[in-house]
Structures are given as structure tokens and as C-alpha cells.
Amino acid sequence: MPVARINGIDLGYDVYGTGTPVVMVTGTGAPGRVWRTHQVPALTAAGHRVITLDNRGIPPTDAGPGGFTLDDMAADVAGLIEYLGAGPCRVVGYSLGGIVVQELLLARPDLVTRAVLMASSGRTDALIAAMTAGDIELADSGTKIPPGYAAYIQALQNLSPRTLNDDEKLRDWLGVLELSMVDRSAVRAQLGLDLIPNRLPQYRAIDRPCLVIGFQDDLVVRPHLCREIADAVPGARYTEIPGCGHYGYLERPEEVNAAIVDFFAEEPR
């Protein structure tokens, strides 16, 4: 994995394919490689050069001294786009990464032509606040949850009833979740960055075309929170993918990929 010196930190990134650049920003605790299985092949096949990154605090990317903010993460994405000479370009953000992209659209609209915002929110509601507080409390306690139990909780929280009721698929998911479980203490610096004030009024200033994607069975960022972003951003479009939870881009990748590719195809290359 290449590493660039950006904003005083070492930032890890990967580049796949050739063509029109697309930068993909993932969510809390996740490395950039989560896009490799489904989204990278679909986008490269559609003629895009896909750029993924490991957000601050996800090795090999540094956290930096003294912690960091949402603005720092948005500045890192901007810095990487400039470092690679990729701007202005298309950008995709998921969950916390969606919030990062929303802030990028306000801070550096010159670097973005259009954006896809998946499972993202424009404000913190009571459930997001409670979940984040629980994650922080768990990370700070030093408690180690058995991997099998943690995988079960992750499945309930992030997958749809459609998957949970399919024994074969669920067994596969539980195996993957157990092997890829994130140590909350290791990503402590990212926890709480999704606790944003109501930013919907500010998002009315976004002037780039946006596609907002909600996942029908998402219990983490419920679809109405995604729809609020589409209602706030002038001209934004909203689509909801059925039969998937918070991990919708992995649970229903064909539908998600089609929505992204079709939206990006609307802009002349």
C-alpha cells in the first residue's frame, strides 16, 4: 500500500484501474480495503480509477498527535485528491465517511464534481447518540468481548432480516464478522466523530449533484435520516435499497453498485 505525507500524517491509500477518478471514504473503524470485494470491480469495469484510503487512526494511516476532528478527516481526503492530481472528481462516502464527504462538499467543493452519500446522516438523533456512547464506554472500559458473541451482536445490528433468516448466508456472515472484528479500543479516536450537531441547514449550501442512498432495514442510520440529507441538499436525489441493513453495500452490492455507476454515468467524462 502506498503512503503519502498529507496534513502532517502518513496516509495509506490504494489506486485501482484507470479512467475517471472516484475517491471512496469508508466508515468508523473500517479500512479502505472493504471496497475491494464489490465496489472496486464494478467501478473499474465502468471505466473509473478507484482511490481508497485508510482514514486517520486506521494503520498504516497515523492518528496524529492530540487526536483529530471531522474537519481533519475531510482535509485528509482533500489533501489526497490534490496529492494524486485527481480533482475535481467523484466521491463516495459511507456512514462516518458520508459525513466526512458532506463536510468536504462544504469546505472544498472545487475538488468534487458529484458525490454519493450512503447510510449517512446530517444530525445526531437519540439512538445514534446512545450507540456511540455505548461504543465509547466499551472502548474505555478495556473489556474484551468474545469474538463469537461480538459477531452475533454485529449481525443483529447491521444485517437485514432477509439475511438473518437465511441460515447459510448468516453462517457465512458470522464467520466473516468474527474474523474481521474491530477492536474498539484500537479505533477509539474515531468514536464520537459521528456525534454532529444538526448540520442540515448548512447542507443547503452544497452545490454539487448528490445521490443519497439509504438502506431499508438499517438500524444504525435509519433511512429517514438519509432522506433528510436529500431533502436539505438542493437537487439531491434519494434512493433506498430494499432488503439490507447498515452493511447494505456488502449485503446488496449489485443494487448499490448499479445506483452508483448509473449516477456517475450522468456526468460527461
Which one from 62, 135, 217, 218 is the annotated catalytic residue?
A: 218
Which one-letter amino acid corresponds to residue 163?
A: T
The answer to whether residue 95 is catalytic is yes
CA distance 137 to 174: 24
The answer to whether residue 246 is catalytic is yes
Which one from 95, 120, 121, 160 is the annotated catalytic residue?
A: 95
Which one-letter amino acid corresponds to residue 182?
A: V
The answer to whether residue 224 is catalytic is no
DSSP letters of the chain? --EEEETTEEEEEEEESSSEEEEEE--TT--GGGGTTTHHHHHHHTTEEEEEEPPTTSTTS---TT---HHHHHHHHHHHHHHTT--SEEEEEETHHHHHHHHHHHH-GGGEEEEEEES--SS--HHHHHHHHHHHHHHHHT----HHHHHHHHHHHHS-HHHHT-HHHHHHHHHHHHHT---GGGGGGGTTTT-----HHHHTT--S-EEEEEETT-SSS-HHHHHHHHHHSTT-EEEEESS--TTHHHHSHHHHHHHHHHHHHTS--
CA distance 266 to 256: 16
Query: Which amino acids are annotated catalytic?
Result: 95, 218, 246
